[in-house]
Chains A and B, each alone.
Chain A
Amino acid sequence: MALLEVEDLRVEFPTRRGALLALDGVSLEINEGEVLGVVGESGAGKSLTGAAIIGLLEPPGRVTGGKIRLEGHRIDTLSYEEMRNIRGKKIGAIFQDPLTSLNPLYTIGRQLIETIRVHMDVSPEAARARAIELLGEVGIPAPERRIDSYPHEFSGGMRQRVVISLALCANPRLIIADEPTTALDVSIQAQIIALLKKLCREHKTAVMLITHDMGVIAETADRVAVMYAGRVAEIGPVKRVVKQPKHPYTVGLMGAIPMVGHDVERLTQIEGAMPRLNEIPPGCSFNPRCPKVFDKCRMERPELMPAGRNAEAACWQFDKGGRRG
């Protein structure tokens, strides 16, 4: 059994002109201790997927279909109170901007100690000792002195380290990290990614790593889900997806990324842009941009299907019944 199972998840935004379907049948699994990367361009639905899982969808957005199971138990049907208990204890969260997770008015230490005591029955002294230990673990130098600093006294990279230590406080089973390094400098990005990788390996924590940066995914994730227009287009082990992408969108995406040492005059170009939510075409949502499009693509929507060894793709090319040369 997978640690987290998301099945046919739908998220809608009601508007005056009818409901906007922002996630339309997202299915994915995360195994214990595994890093699942979620990539896709802006608006593909990555953050909504993460927010729906931890029960932090901003109204008026709401889950209107599908199931989310953690360790085999439904969590999408829990009350707000029950879900709050799961957040932090079982599922931790790290967001792009560390300042959204830190209160500027309280010291780092106070925030850590409070979070630790919410989830664990320990004395204030023991919580403080644990907080210092955690800060040391995420690479804050001289943690016994820095614990009484305020967030603004830390650099962006240091703040993101603190957020990671906050997310790890209660030893959760799963961390949802939404663009955790996007706001940071490249050299700091590499440090944070290495840290996240090391901690999750040591604590056997699974991670859902949301990012638009395929490079970060390639270095960090075990498996990757590629999202397009509110659905998963392809999912599989990172190495396979990077080297032998199956879905035409993934193929285009990989060719569009400039690489050091890869001397090409022109990059692969996917014509056009991802459709807006109210303009998603019938059939396969990628069909107007797809170089492999054929008749069926414009009529019927493909679900994820086996696409060779270690591969699942939502593309009619891999349909056993009507496979084309």
Chain B
Amino acid sequence: MRKPLAGSSIRGGAVAKRAKSEAQAESMLEVRDLAKYFDVSKPWLARMIERAPRQILKAVDGLAFDIKKGQTFSLVGESGCGKSTVAKLVVGLHKPSRGAIRFEGRDVADVRSRADSAALRRRWQMIFQDPYASLNPRWRVRDIIAEPIRVFGLIKSRGEQDEKVAALLRQVGLSPVDGEKYPHEFSGGQRQRISIARALSSNPEFLVCDEPTSALDVSVQAQILNLMKDLQNEFGLTYLFISHNLAVVYHLSDKIGVMYLGRLCEVAGSKELFARPQHPYTRLLLETIPDLEMTGREREPVAGEVPNPINPPSGCAFHPRCPFANDRCRSEIPLPTERAGHTVACHAAEEGRLPDAKFPAPKRPSAS
């Protein structure tokens, strides 16, 4: 266990440096063929009477990605594509239907003993979208923040614990006296700071953040995103970040995975993905980004809607909305393949019959 802290620094010992080079960085998390199916059938009796079959919803189906230490990997995609389900699988709130999750090379399913699993769980934490629902309204803020410390028995004496909570509150831009208050006395952005302080209290190395700023105003979102970057630079934290906001994801990520109906369409470095999107769905998503600089980009009208996940289209689930779909797309599920630094699951990309992306190279802010 790490030494308790002194002063305003949360962690003792050497400060980890953010790993910049992809090649030399070690993996924090490896996900292989991950799947989660939900049984959404009607109750047994109703099924018998209506002669309805069992219904399985494949929320996540065959996902694979790696997250390097000290980096931010983001998942983007529209509502219902399975982002939150991945987050819950990774932190152990859901049991996978199939596949493996490896933390520092070790399969988490193999971690059986209670001591081992507690030691592992201490090292990752999760931050949720709604900072109010995830904070117990009847507890004082200091007790909320100290909960992981108590659960994992990290600090024994009350005095040390108080010191640590005060340091955490300062770290997230609040004041130690705020520890005496209750969650309802804070604004949305302050509550999200409290949940970040709570998540940090067990000295985790890996944070899973599910839409942590989606409920916040942009000015407050900027405060939280800056805080997340500062914490990463200072402590070398690794993030799995989930959002439907492409600009936020561009700002924060080293690498991005685009999801559609439970599968990954494309995985690439953040700059690379926006500069040279490959998968037709990635291109569609990039088309929807509002053009704040109003450079007069012609927008393709984007047709269609996300289909029902209980009855997804055959073959490539994107085929009803895809301008490049052919017979193979309608019958065969495309598997992810490597192509020029992108992992893309698309027949047209694999066959080399995709036209070059129309999306312009990243825009520079106007000089004026």
Contacts and interface: CB of A to CB of B under 8 A. Distances in A.
Contacts of B78: 185-187
A101 interface: no
Interface stretch (B152-160, B220-228, B261-269, B327-335): B220-228
9 contacts: A185-B79, A186-B288, A188-B305, A215-B290, A216-B290, A252-B219, A266-B226, A267-B225, A267-B226
Interface residues of B, number: 50
A120 interface: no
Contacts of B363: 259-262
Interface in A197-247: 212-216, 218-219, 238-239, 242-244
Contact of A259 (B217, B226, B293, B306): B293
B223 A219 contact: no
A258 interface: yes
Interface string A257-278: 1111111111111100100000
B289 interface: yes
B225 A258 contact: yes
B305 A155 contact: yes
Contacts of A258: 222, 225, 245, 247-248, 250-252
A146 to B, nearest CB: 14
Nearest to A257: B218
A260 B226 contact: no
B323 interface: no
Contacts of B362: 260-261, 263
A256 B218 contact: yes
Interface of A: 41-42, 155, 157-158, 185-191, 194, 212-216, 218-219, 238-239, 242-244, 252-253, 255-270, 273
Interface string B202-234: 000000000000000111111101100100000
B220 A262 contact: no
Interface in B325-368: 361-366, 368
A185 B306 contact: yes
Interface stretch (B22-30, B35-43, B122-130, B294-302): B294-302
Nearest to B189: A273
Contact of A262 (B188, B287, B299, B365): B365
Given A41-B219, A244-B368, A258-B225, A189 B288 contact: yes
B246 interface: yes
B33 interface: no
Given A41-B217, A242-B294, A194 B247 contact: no
Contacts of B245: 258
B291 interface: yes
Residues of B contacting A: mostly:
loop
A190 B190 contact: no
B285 interface: yes
A265 B218 contact: no
B241 interface: no
A290 B325 CA distance: 53
Nearest to A184: B79
B31 interface: no
A213 B220 CA distance: 13
Contact of B287 (A190, A238, A242, A267): A190
A187 B190 contact: no
Which of A158, A252, A270 has the largest count of B CB atoms less than 10 A from its CB? A270
B292 interface: yes
Contacts of A243: 293, 366, 368
B187 interface: yes
Interface in B236-289: 244-248, 250-252, 274, 284-289
A269 B247 CA distance: 17
B222 A186 contact: no
Contacts of B299: 190, 194
A260 B218 contact: no
B289 A215 contact: yes
Nearest to B186: A273
B368 A218 contact: no
A215 B292 contact: yes
**Which 4 residue pairs of A and B lie closest in terms of their CB atoms, listed nearest first?**
A215-B290, A261-B362, A256-B222, A261-B363
A324 to B, nearest CB: 23
Q: Quick one: which of B187, B222, B252, B294 has the most chain A CB within 10 A? A: B222
Given A258-B225, A258-B251, A260-B247, A242 B292 contact: yes
B290 A218 contact: yes
B288 A260 contact: no
